[in-house]
């Protein structure tokens, strides 16, 4: 287990790192994403993919995805 001194030193390093990033014009954000390790994740992802593929609008949906992810032409 770490000592209070170790934790204080770690906190100081993290604080200094964050301050440097802020001085570079960055700001911290926190995002929550699905936990791919969670039991049932794969089954739910497959269910959603199947629902999209079987949708009457599947071709339009895929065209949209292709348009927004296409690499720009050089």
Model confidence band, residue 1 (pLDDT cutoffs 50, 70, 90): low
Model confidence band, residue 4 (pLDDT cutoffs 50, 70, 90): confident
pTM of the full structure = 0.52
Residue 51 resides in a domain = yes
Whether the pLDDT of residue 24 is over 90: the answer is yes
Rounded distance between C-alpha atoms, residue 66 and residue 59, angstroms: 10
- pLDDT single digits (tens) 25-72: 999 999 999 999 999 999 999 999 999 999 999 999 999 999 999 787
What pLDDT is attached to residue 28?
94
Whether the pLDDT of residue 2 is over 80: the answer is no
- Burial, 10: exposed, middle or buried (Cβ in 10 Å; 0-12, 13-18, 19+)? exposed
Total structural domains within the chain: 1
Rounded distance between C-alpha atoms, residue 63 and residue 29, angstroms: 31
Residue 74 resides in a domain = no
Residue 11 resides in a domain = yes
Residue 13 resides in a domain = yes
| Spatial CA neighbour of 44 closest among 34, 59, 57 | 34
Q: 2 vs 5, 6, 19, 24, CA distance in Å?
A: 8, 6, 24, 31
């Amino acid at each position: 287990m770490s000592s209070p001194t170790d934790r204080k030193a770690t906190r100081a390093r993290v604080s200094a790192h964050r301050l440097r990033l802020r001085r570079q014009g960055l700001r911290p954000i926190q995002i929550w994403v699905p936990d791919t390790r969670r039991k049932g994740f794969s089954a739910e992802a497959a269910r959603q993919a199947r629902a999209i593929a079987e949708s009457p609008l599947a071709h339009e949906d895929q065209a949209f995805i292709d348009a927004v992810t296409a690499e720009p032409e050089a």
